[in-house]
Amino acid sequence: MNDAAEMDDEKEYLAEAKLRRRNNAPHDRFLSSYRARMGYRGDVLVPPAVFGVEGAVDIHCHGHEGQQDGLSIAKLASASGVKGLLFKSIVWRARTDVAGPAGVVREVEGELRKWCDEAGVPPSRLWSGWITTDTMGLSIPEQARRQLADGVSAVWMPVFRSANTLSKVGGMSGWWGEEPSVWTDPLPWDKALRVGTYTLDEHGKLKPEYREVFKMVADHDVMISFAHATHAEIWEMAEQVRDLGITKAVIDHPFSPFIDLSPAQMRELTSAGIYLNFTYDEISPLLGVDPAEMCRTIQALGTEYVTLSSDAGEPLFPNTVEALRLLRAHMEAFGLTKDEVHTTSSVNPSKLLGAED
């Protein structure tokens, strides 16, 4: 081969390598992924049974309108040995015979116990959560008081109605009264503030209604998620956690575009006793976070204030149980030990729900 041909081959190789190497990483994702997938051996897959999720507690399970059915996923979780599911969302808004999501989850629990008795398997534990934008016409503190009295085990700050979300991915225009109701482009920040929800006042401090919610969370000793907060909101919420002595505070999907925390910021938050909840959503094809990067980050942080959960339920995702299996398997394949996987997907989530036993 002459020199010109060798140079052409070298250029072609370098062009291909450049395409495969994001951010000039020393080892591209293609290479690290194959090392992980060829080196990992889990339980043999025997569909429809799901193995590899025994003892897991999912603190971010979805079951609202258009998503997975709550009872069906609870049955699969029970049959698969999942310890418990916290429903961040479940169908309840259209009902007048229940106070909120806790009532629906109690109904699901009753049906699940009947099914498990017949099937001869122990039922997974079920918990309910409430999102602060689901006020149903009441003030935020009034609805929070009602939902906590009814038995929710977790409270989420604003999610898809938050100004941060609307500025990053848009929202349904009907939410703020525009017709026709369609999914919009990301909104300019000033409009997102007008039509969305923002937890800080003009002085950059948490608004009184949200401070009141944090106080109620502390009094009831339940889990609270910062949800889709901006960095400014996160630090103000973290101050509330510190001042009120809250021990069950969580930041969901820290790699997602909504949160987008740096390793240094993650370290500061875990050092303050705030849990980081890494999710299947982040490593799914929809967000595409490199699981190797997620694993390295968890190893650098340590597992004391880290959890793993699904954030699944949408039709474009695997069901929650399969998402848990995939996330646990990916983290083990990319370097977490079995004990670390158990700590982050079972022990720590159990602490957040008061279910250590």
Q: Identify the pLDDT of residue 32.
A: 86
d(CA 146, CA 286): 36
pLDDT at position 95: 83
Task: Centre a 10 Å sphere on the Cβ of residue 89 and count the other Cβ atoms it contains.
Answer: 23
Amino acid symbol at 27: H
User: Which pLDDT value is given to residue 6?
Assistant: 65
Closest alpha carbon to 63 in 117, 126, 122 = 126
Per-residue confidence (pLDDT) for residue 26, from 0 to 100 = 47
Q: What per-residue confidence (pLDDT) applies to 338?
A: 97
Mean pLDDT, consecutive 10-residue stretches, the chain (357 aa), reads: 63 52 58 87 90 98 94 98 97 84 97 98 98 97 98 98 98 96 97 98 98 98 98 98 98 97 98 98 96 97 98 96 98 98 98 93
**What is the sign of the dihedral through the CA atoms of 189, 195, 200 and 202?**
positive
Pair 181, 174: CB distance under 8 Å: yes
Confirm if 172 and 166 have CB atoms less than 8 A apart: no
Q: Is 328 helix (H, G, I), strand (E, B) or coil?
A: helix
Tokens standing for residue 154: 């977790």
Place of tokens 């250029």: 11
CA dist., res. 331 & res. 252, Å (int): 17
Among 292, 275, 272, 280, which residue's Cα sits nearest to residue 336? 292
> What does the DSSP 8-state code read for residue 47?
T
CB 225 within 8 A of CB 214: no
Q: Read off the pTM.
A: 0.91
Residue type, 131: I
DSSP letter string over 215-281?
A: HHHHHHT-EEE-TT--HHHHHHHHHHHHHHT---EEEE-TTSTTT---HHHHHHHHHTT-EEEEEHH
Instruction: Report residue 138 CA to chain centroid gap.
Output: 27
DSSP SS3 for 58: strand
Query: Is the distance from CB of 59 to CB of 89 less than 8 angstroms?
Result: no
Residue 30's pLDDT is 76
**Single-letter amino acid code for the residue at 330:** H
